[in-house]
Amino acid sequence: MFLVHLVGVRIPEGQLKFLIMLITYYLICVAYCFFQLFSKYKQRYDGSVTSNSAELDTIMVIVMAWVLAPIDISLTWIRWYKEAEEAKRRQEKQIL
**DSSP tag of 34:** H
Q: Is the pLDDT of residue 40 over 60?
A: yes
| Mean per-residue pLDDT of the chain | 82
Domains: count for the chain? 1
User: Are the C-beta atoms of 8 and 1 separated by less than 8 Å?
Assistant: no
Task: Please tell me the least confidently modeled range out of 18-22, 28-32, 75-79.
Answer: 18-22
Share of the chain above pLDDT 90, in %: 38
The distance from CA 49 to its chain's CA centroid, rounded to whole angstroms, is 27
Burial 37-46 (b: 16+ CB within 10 A, else e): beeeeeeeee
When pLDDT is averaged across residues 26-50 and rounded to a whole number, the result is: 80
User: What's the pLDDT score for residue 38?
Assistant: 82
**What domain range includes position 26?**
2-95
The reported pTM is 0.68
